[in-house]
A and B are shown apart, each in its own frame.
Chain A
Amino acid sequence: MDGGRVRRMWEQMGGRLGKAYLVFVFFLLYAPIVYLIAFSFNAGDTMYAWEGFSLDWYRELLHDERLFVIALNTLVIALASSILATGVGTAGALLIGMSEARRRREALLLLNNVLLVSPDVQIGISFLLLFTLAGIALGEGSVLLAHVAFSVPIVVLMVLPQVEKMPKTLLDAAYDLGASHRDVLFRVILPYITPGILAGFFMALTYSFDDFAVTFFVTGGGFSTLPVEIYSRARRGVSLELNALSALLFLLSFAFAFGYYWIQRREMRPRTEVRR
């Protein structure tokens, strides 16, 4: 057999194997979610037996006012903390990215990444101790602070590549053409790194939205978020109401992902055109 045919056969097989593998992985990822969502429509009250289709659990969910307030809490915290973190993180990424001293830049980046990979429990406990020491009452404020803090490194990580990709000649050109610092920042730098900022915002949003460990430690005073509430309810035996809630959250995550994708694509398009 000649080498070409072997290679083609190998590639064909590899392609098919690759596809099967991909299907397998996605099955593994989605099967539990599908199973969970399917049972949110169960007429019975357990996950053990299917007793017919009903929307009862969704109805019950609608009447659960406490859960509704908690869902809104989660949304408020996620949006507010991601906006703040995006601001802080973008500024940080610009400072790190623009820094001339390589050593200092790398040191800063290292510190940033250490925070990113630190276990959530450790961050949660540290915040708990800090807030206690500083006399900050646990509640919405402490949760917001903690969420901003753990989101900043993510935003930095998402924005930094864009800052580094940005040709320095672009800035020089702008200055040469008489742009002020302000103009350079708002008309050159920020538009250039917009995709990174948006990516950072969405990452922060998802991080905040599903954070359990950190929130668990710093929450109090009657304030709760969905992950914490779901955890405490699940300990008492999982009600299918939680399945219904999870189904809705899954849809929301889908909406987030699509929103991000859509904005990202729109953002990419004008990049190829000439900008005024």
Chain B
Amino acid sequence: MRTLVRFFVFVGILLFLAFSARAAVTAKYRAYGENVLHVYNWGDYVDPALLERFQEETGIRVVYETFDSNEEMLAKLRQGGTSYDIAVPSDYAIQRLIREGLLLPIDHSRLPNLRHIDPRFLDLPFDPGNRYSVPYFWGTLGIAYRPDRVPIEIQSWWDLWSPELRGQVLLVDGPREVVGIGLQALGYSLNDSDPAHLEEAKALLDSLVPNVKAIVGDEIRVLLAQDEASVGVIWSGDAKSVLEHNESFEYVIPKEGSNIWFDNFVIPKTARNVEGAYKFIDFFLDPEIAAQNAEYVGFATPNRGAFALLPEEVTSDERFYPPEDVLRRLEVYLDLGRDAVARYNELFLEFKMHRK
């Protein structure tokens, strides 16, 4: 018995030590009291220095949590056990959140900096009138490749099928993205849910198999930057980070068009600190802040004021701020409803399995 008592006293002391060490480290947060803002965002999607600055200026402590996919975020928001004050979903996810009544309407009069947003990025089909969301970043899907390693000049989705690229192509692990490639190569819309067209796209994708090296997630950035593959279908912001690490890469938006996406701020219904949420959104709408953030994150800013502040070499780069005629060829993902989403997932899974 004595052994047992002594042992658990020892464990208790350890627990107490760990507890007090944590209290000591987090002591400075206590000054913020209840004034905490829970932000739910993509990984590495904000300049940490700006979060610091926001905390200092407003006295609101930011608790920053991350997710990897819209689906993960949707699941947590639907579940309701957490009380995020801000979330940053993409277009079609916003549409779904609105339809399910999970968001608070945005009071535009409380966001004086909203006027800095380029009108082109407001009033989009997934949230008409921006009643529930405020633009944060936008970008495209395209092809990053090494012109010095690949014997062809890539300009179109069809180029991915060229026999010279055998076993060299990395794809993003997303059903809508990959099935979308097939649809667009065939000249259909990215939001097509006609079963016959989907079937056709799938058959076309099956013939892409010999060229596919792997289907990967966020690590696609590292794999390309480290020359594990010469071609990758990739998001523009990720492409930018690849280009920064490895200058031999080039990024193109295929001439058939591609996906343009928007990540917007929303305030979930479960938010507890709505006041803080407005302050946070307005803070990031400030042109100077938005410009600094855009430089850190690498995606394109929808903020006109920030755009003007960014260095010329960034804003003139048509790969990441495509000109009007390219923009017109880009399509936003719409929420296709449960059945079509299931069909996309199924086809994508079949495609992945077909590979082996």
Contact = CB atoms under 8 A, between A and B. Distances in A.
Interface in B69-84: 76, 79-83
Contacts of B221: 237
A186 interface: yes
B82 A221 contact: yes
Interface in B1-45: 1, 3-4, 7-8, 11-12, 14-15, 18-19, 21-22, 25-26, 36, 38, 43-44
Given A69-B26, A132-B81, 5 more contacts: A76-B15, A132-B80, A186-B1, A235-B217, A236-B43
Interface in A37-96: 46, 48, 65, 68-69, 72-73, 75-76, 79-80, 82-83
B80 to A, nearest CB: 6
**What secondary structure prevails in chain A residues at the interface with B?**
helix
Given A220-B76, A221-B63, A197 B4 contact: yes
B65 interface: yes
Interface in A176-203: 186-187, 190-191, 194, 197-198, 201
B350 interface: no
A187 B34 CA distance: 49
Given A48-B226, A235-B68, A220 B81 contact: yes
A237 B18 contact: no
B219 interface: yes
Interface of B: 1, 3-4, 7-8, 11-12, 14-15, 18-19, 21-22, 25-26, 36, 38, 43-44, 63-66, 68, 76, 79-83, 217-219, 221-222, 226
Given A221-B38, A237-B222, A128 B81 contact: yes
A190 B4 contact: yes
Nearest to A131: B81
A272 to B, nearest CB: 15
A122 to B, nearest CB: 16
A187 B219 contact: no
Nearest to A132: B81
**Most chain B CB within a 10 A radius of its CB, from A73, A82, A197, A222:** A222
A79 B18 contact: yes
Contacts of A201: 7, 11
Contacts of A136: 81
Contacts of A69: 22, 25-26
22 contacts: A68-B25, A69-B25, A72-B21, A72-B22, A76-B18, A76-B22, A80-B15, A82-B11, A132-B81, A136-B81, A138-B81, A191-B3, A194-B1, A221-B83, A222-B36, A222-B38, A222-B64, A222-B65, A235-B68, A235-B218, A236-B218, A263-B7
A191 B5 CA distance: 10
B25 A222 contact: no
Contacts of A79: 11, 14-15, 18
A114 B4 CA distance: 29
A137 interface: yes
Q: Which 6 A-B pairs have the closest CB atoms?
A: A222-B63, A220-B82, A237-B222, A72-B22, A79-B15, A138-B81
A248 B1 CA distance: 33
A126 interface: no
A11 to B, nearest CB: 41
Contacts of B82: 137-138, 220-221
Contacts of B38: 221-222
B25 A194 contact: no
Nearest to A83: B11
A232 interface: yes
A53 B81 CA distance: 46
Contacts of B83: 137, 221
A16 B279 CA distance: 71
A136 B79 CA distance: 12
B1 A191 contact: yes
B25 A72 contact: yes
A267 interface: yes
A83 B219 contact: no
**Most chain B CB within a 10 A radius of its CB, from A46, A132, A236, A238:** A236
A123 to B, nearest CB: 16
Contact of B43 (A48, A191, A235): A235
B18 A75 contact: yes
B173 to A, nearest CB: 11
A10 to B, nearest CB: 42
A186 B221 CA distance: 60
Contact of A83 (B15, B63, B64): B15
Contacts of A65: 25
A105 B11 CA distance: 31
**Most chain B CB within a 10 A radius of its CB, from A132, A136, A186, A221:** A221
Nearest to B22: A72
Contacts of A48: 226
B81 A194 contact: no
Contacts of A190: 1, 4
A267 B275 CA distance: 59
Nearest to A46: B226
Nearest to B222: A237
A228 to B, nearest CB: 10
A231 B140 CA distance: 26
A226 to B, nearest CB: 13
Contacts of B222: 46, 237-238
Contacts of A187: 1
Nearest to A229: B66
A69 B63 CA distance: 13
A137 B18 CA distance: 23
A79 B7 CA distance: 12
Nearest to A65: B25
A137 B83 CA distance: 8
